[in-house]
């Protein structure tokens, strides 16, 4: 018995995974560049067209009908249809379709109704220019792509996640897309930027044409109606009134903003009332809302479409150019089809006119066979064939035999001539449109704007705004406490030593007596090291100046250094000294400016019979300010008892002696 050939498991998984990834990308997640639709959307619209009679249909019926074409279940179809219905462009809706402002979901499919919009019927369908393919089970025919004459994907937006690939195309303004298509046809420059149904304010300076690497920032529209009351009228794309309220309450709990209460009055329009606490500044609170809540979001687009049966990352401008030129081509195809139909109609109307006015039908009255009938008609027509624009076929002659006696008896020559003149006029107009196809397409787009542009003006305002520095707007309404004995600090140690006011966005800097330093994120309770000499809020953007005197080792030299703390890593332990065992800090002071740091200290030495002077007055201004890693300069080699700061009068006296010594030298 022969053994069956075996396939390595690795090869099977590699092949199957590639097939699955390709299927998800092409058939589920990414829209096609030609019509801007994902397969489920295209199949829904095709089903709506098949059942379109001008009246509304139950969504449940449309879902069931679409399942003939879409093999992924009713839930996916229903969600996609609701999403399209909420865009209010290609379908008309009736019933509760949810609310994108509040986040409320739509009613069950059996309760809501839908039909194709007039816009969709005009721009998406034409069976004569549609390419067809078999459905997944081979029982039906479905369109490969719809002959869309509008960039639907840019008006709707699209979002999908495939295997190793993601798509995120943001929605754009309907009127601006039409204007941009006209600009493409006129070969003029154009720009298109996102426009969101929720409104808001958008900074598109880094949009990058919707490609990977770009981003836009979208803010809520916040109005200051009273000194202590703010009203949010519009919200960012991708958020709801509920999610914005939740983010504000969370920020309030974390002490990042201070509010008294919040009221969500959203119905047809967004209205969130934010009441401020006593002592809060409204302008600063607005900045804090942008910094710490969903009142400002950052969106990263990733424009990806299917073209040539492969995914391509194309910019919004490139997609729009493709759509505008495809619209021109589709309109050209429709004109050519119409011209052929008009020519055919003129041909047969002329043939009918010759057949009736010259009474050729009487020649077949005595004929007994079909061949004889056709021969008599050919004989009667032959003198008039030069009047026609194309050759007469046997099918044309056969059609003449189908004319009813009633039509012949009521034939009106005047009306027949009027019909021919009207057909000739339409033929001339169609040929003129084909000859000037670009101008015809521009006129078609302008008509589209007139018919459907009302009420579709831009909702999102475009404006450039700076990034809000969170640390500058956070409310510093907590207190930093320190437990020096156990080595902990935080805002929750309320029984221990209070250090200063802080916010929950701050960092803590802590210096220990052994000459080490660390920076940690503030928390309710966090370890900062034992035997702390100095604990404070770390000002990263405004580094302080530190004066430091330390003994290097247990019996080593006494060193002095001045330094700033910059470029630190959280939770890393830094050694500010030479690192000898037994090192101890004798003096450490923190100052905001160099002028403030120019203090004088008196270093008292331990008693020693060899010493004549047991104290040293040291001016910190004589030491240069360096980085934290500098080891410092030698102050004395003798043991130090203590270091004290001189009073202002004593410092002035020493400064005078110092200046006089310089003058005498």
Identify the CATH number of the domain in which residue 287 sits. Answer: 3.30.1360.40
- The model's pLDDT over 626-660, given as tens digits with 9 standing for 90+, comes to 988 899 999 988 888 899 998 887 777 777 776 66
* 526 & 648 share domain: yes
- Return the closest-CA partner of residue 535 out of 512, 563, 551, 564: 512
**Average of per-residue pLDDT across 307-319:** 92
- Greatest mean pLDDT range, 7-11, 114-118, 159-163, 415-419: 114-118
Instruction: Point out which residues pair with 500 in neighbouring strands.
Output: 480
**416, 353 in Cβ contact below 8 A?**
yes
* Whole-Å CA distances, 7 to 14, 22, 239: 12, 22, 50
Residue 4 lies in a domain: no
- The model's pLDDT over 195-216, given as tens digits with 9 standing for 90+, comes to 999 999 999 999 999 999 999 9
* 38 & 169 share domain: yes
**Average of per-residue pLDDT across 449-457:** 94
* 486 & 633 share domain: yes
pLDDT-based confidence at 3, cuts 50/70/90?
Answer: low
- The model's pLDDT over 81-97, given as tens digits with 9 standing for 90+, comes to 999 999 999 999 999 99
User: Domain limits at 138?
Assistant: 25-189
Q: Is the pLDDT of residue 665 over 60?
A: no
**589, 599 in Cβ contact below 8 A?**
yes
**Average of per-residue pLDDT across 282-291:** 89
Q: What is the pLDDT of residue 358?
A: 86
Q: Which among 189, 205, 230 is the end of a domain? A: 189
**Considering the chain, what is the average pLDDT of its residues?**
89
**78, 98 in Cβ contact below 8 A?**
no
Q: Which among 189, 208, 229 is the end of a domain? A: 189
Domain count, the chain: 4
Q: Where are the alpha helices (DSSP H) in 401-436?
A: 405-409, 413-435
**437, 331 in Cβ contact below 8 A?**
yes
- Return the closest-CA partner of residue 230 out of 265, 270, 273, 199: 273
**547, 589 in Cβ contact below 8 A?**
yes
* 487 & 421 share domain: no
* 222 & 170 share domain: no
* 645 & 502 share domain: yes
pLDDT-based confidence at 10, cuts 50/70/90?
Answer: low
* 507 & 632 share domain: yes
Considering only residues 281 and 142, tell me which one the structure prediction assigns the higher pLDDT.
142
Going by C-beta distance under 8 Å and a sequence separation of 6 or more, which residues neighbour residue 179?
190, 449
- Return the closest-CA partner of residue 174 out of 451, 464, 438: 451
* Whole-Å CA distances, 398 to 196, 392, 395, 402, 638: 60, 11, 5, 7, 128
Query: Torsion angle of alpha carbons 621, 625, 631, 633, nearest 10°?
Result: -30
Residue percentage of the chain with pLDDT more than 70: 95
Going by C-beta distance under 8 Å and a sequence separation of 6 or more, which residues neighbour residue 502?
476, 478, 479, 480, 491, 522, 537
Instruction: Quote the Cα angle for 44-50-51, to 5°.
Output: 90
**Average of per-residue pLDDT across 110-129:** 95
Residue percentage of the chain with pLDDT more than 90: 59
Q: Does residue 357 come out as left (phi exceeding 0), alpha (psi in the -120 to 50 range) or beta?
A: alpha
* 646 & 537 share domain: yes
Residue 197 lies in a domain: no
CATH code for the domain of 327: 1.10.268.10
pLDDT-based confidence at 257, cuts 50/70/90?
Answer: confident
**585, 546 in Cβ contact below 8 A?**
no
What's the CA gap between 375 and 355, in Å, rounded?
Answer: 14
Residue 459 lies in a domain: no
pLDDT-based confidence at 471, cuts 50/70/90?
Answer: low
Q: Is the pLDDT of residue 595 over 90?
A: no
Residue 211 lies in a domain: no
Q: Which among 299, 331, 357 is the end of a domain? A: 299
Residues involved in catalysis:
111
What's the CA gap between 439 and 436, in Å, rounded?
Answer: 6
CA atoms within 13 A on the CB side of 592: 1
Going by C-beta distance under 8 Å and a sequence separation of 6 or more, which residues neighbour residue 24?
162, 163
Q: Where are the alpha helices (DSSP H) in 88-158?
A: 118-123, 152-156
DSSP string of 173-198? -HHHHHHHHHHHHTT------B--TT
**Average of per-residue pLDDT across 539-558:** 90
Residue 207 lies in a domain: no
* 539 & 624 share domain: yes
What's the CA gap between 112 and 605, in Å, rounded?
Answer: 91
CA dihedral sign, ordered 391, 394, 396, 397: positive
Q: What is the pLDDT of residue 406?
A: 86
pLDDT-based confidence at 28, cuts 50/70/90?
Answer: confident
Q: What is the pLDDT of residue 391?
A: 87
CB atoms within 10 A of CB 181: 29
pTM tops 0.85, yes or no: no
Q: What is the pLDDT of residue 362?
A: 86
**246, 103 in Cβ contact below 8 A?**
no
Q: What is the pLDDT of residue 208?
A: 94
Q: What is the pLDDT of residue 505?
A: 78
What's the CA gap between 200 and 6, in Å, rounded?
Answer: 61
Q: What is the pLDDT of residue 616?
A: 87
What's the CA gap between 482 and 525, in Å, rounded?
Answer: 9
* 511 & 642 share domain: yes
- The model's pLDDT over 531-541, given as tens digits with 9 standing for 90+, comes to 889 999 998 87
- Greatest mean pLDDT range, 87-96, 573-582, 599-608: 87-96
Coarse DSSP helix, strand, coil percentages of the chain, rounded to the nearest 5 percent: 40, 25, 40
**234, 96 in Cβ contact below 8 A?**
no
**Average of per-residue pLDDT across 70-76:** 90
**190, 154 in Cβ contact below 8 A?**
no
Range name among 260-274, 318-332, 601-615 with the lowest pLDDT average:
601-615
CATH code for the domain of 169: 3.90.199.10
Residue 202 lies in a domain: no
**Average of per-residue pLDDT across 548-571:** 91
Q: Is the pLDDT of residue 1 over 60?
A: no
- The model's pLDDT over 417-444, given as tens digits with 9 standing for 90+, comes to 899 999 999 999 999 999 999 999 999 9
Residue 204 lies in a domain: no
* 441 & 373 share domain: yes
The widest CA-to-CA distance across the chain, in whole angstroms, is: 157
Tokens linked to 516: 């080490």
Q: What is the pLDDT of residue 469?
A: 60
- The model's pLDDT over 358-393, given as tens digits with 9 standing for 90+, comes to 888 888 888 889 888 888 888 888 888 888 888 888
* 270 & 356 share domain: no
For 467-613, list the strands marked E by DSSP: 478-483, 488-490, 497-502, 507-512, 516-521, 526-527, 532-538, 545-551, 558-564, 574-575, 584-591, 600-605
Q: DSSP state, 28?
A: I
Residue 442 lies in a domain: yes
Q: End-to-end CA distance of the chain, in Å? A: 113
Q: What is the pLDDT of residue 567?
A: 85
């Amino acid at each position: 018995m022969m053994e069956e050939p075996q396939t390595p498991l690795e090869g099977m998984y590699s092949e199957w995974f590639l097939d699955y990834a390709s299927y998800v990308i092409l058939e589920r997640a990414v829209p096609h560049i030609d019509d801007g639709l994902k397969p489920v959307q295209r199949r829904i619209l095709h089903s709506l067209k098949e059942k379109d009679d001008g009246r509304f249909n139950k969504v449940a019926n449309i879902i069931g009908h679409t399942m003939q074409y879409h093999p992924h279940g009713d839930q996916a179809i229903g969600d996609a249809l609701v999403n399209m219905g909420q865009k209010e462009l290609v379908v008309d809706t009736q019933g509760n379709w949810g609310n994108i402002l509040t986040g409320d979901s739509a009613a069950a499919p059996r309760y809501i109704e839908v039909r194709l919009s007039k816009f969709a019927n005009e721009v998406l369908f034409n069976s004569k220019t549609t390419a067809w393919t078999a459905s997944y089970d081979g029982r039906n025919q479905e369109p490969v792509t719809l002959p869309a004459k509008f960039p639907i994907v840019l008006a709707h937006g699209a979002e999908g996640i495939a295997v190793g690939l993601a798509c995120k195309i943001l929605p754009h303004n309907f009127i601006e897309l039409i204007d941009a298509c006209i600009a493409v046809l006129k070969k003029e420059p154009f720009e298109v930027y996102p426009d969101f149904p929720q409104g808001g304010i958008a900074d598109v300076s880094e949009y990058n044409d919707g490609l990977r690497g770009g981003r836009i920032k979208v803010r809520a529209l916040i109005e200051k109606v009273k000194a202590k009351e703010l009203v949010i009228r519009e919200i960012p794309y991708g958020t709801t009134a509920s999610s914005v309220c939740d983010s504000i309450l969370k920020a309030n709990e974390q002490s990042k903003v201070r509010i008294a209460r919040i009221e969500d009055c959203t119905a047809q329009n967004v209205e969130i009332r934010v009441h401020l606490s006593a002592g809060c500044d409204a302008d600063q609170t607005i900045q804090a809302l942008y910094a710490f809540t969903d009142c400002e979001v950052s969106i990263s687009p990733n424009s990806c479409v299917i073209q040539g049966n492969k995914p391509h990352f194309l910019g919004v401008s490139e997609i729009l150019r493709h759509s505008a030129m495809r619209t021109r081509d589709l309109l050209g195809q429709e004109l050519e089809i119409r011209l052929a139909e008009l020519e055919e109609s003129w041909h047969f109307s002329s043939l009918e006119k010759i057949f009736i006015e010259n009474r050729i039908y009487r020649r077949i009255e005595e004929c007994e066979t079909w061949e004889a009938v056709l021969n008599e008609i050919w004989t009667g027509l032959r003198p008039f064939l030069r009047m026609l624009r194309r050759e007469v076929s046997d099918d044309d002659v056969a059609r003449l035999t189908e004319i009813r006696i009633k039509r012949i008896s009521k034939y009106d020559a005047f009306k027949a001539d009027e019909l021919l003149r009207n057909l000739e006029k339409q033929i001339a107009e169609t040929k003129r449109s084909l000859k000037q196809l670009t101008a015809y397409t521009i006129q078609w787009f302008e008509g589209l704007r007139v018919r459907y542009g009302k009420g579709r003006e831009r909702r999102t305002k475009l404006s450039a705004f700076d990034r809000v520095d969170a640390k500058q707007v956070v409310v510093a309404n907590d207190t930093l406490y320190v437990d020096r004995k156990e080595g902990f600090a935080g805002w929750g140690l309320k029984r221990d030593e209070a250090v200063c006011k802080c916010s929950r966005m701050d960092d803590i800097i802590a210096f220990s007596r052994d000459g080490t330093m660390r920076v940690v994120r503030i928390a309710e309770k966090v370890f900062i090291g034992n035997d702390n000499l100095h604990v404070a809020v770390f000002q990263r953007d405004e580094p302080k100046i530190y004066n430091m005197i330390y003994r290097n080792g247990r019996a080593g030299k006494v060193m002095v250094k001045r330094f700033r703390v910059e470029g630190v890593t959280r939770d890393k332990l830094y050694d500010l000294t030479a690192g000898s065992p037994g090192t101890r800090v004798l003096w450490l002071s923190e100052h905001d400016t160099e002028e403030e740091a120019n203090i004088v200290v008196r270093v008292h030495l331990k008693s020693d019979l060899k010493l004549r002077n047991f104290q040293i007055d040291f001016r910190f201004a004589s030491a240069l300010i360096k980085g934290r890693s500098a080891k410092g300069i030698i102050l004395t080699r003798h043991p130090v008892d203590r270091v004290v700061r001189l009073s202002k009068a004593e410092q002035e006296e020493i400064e005078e002696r110092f200046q006089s010594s310089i003058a005498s030298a």
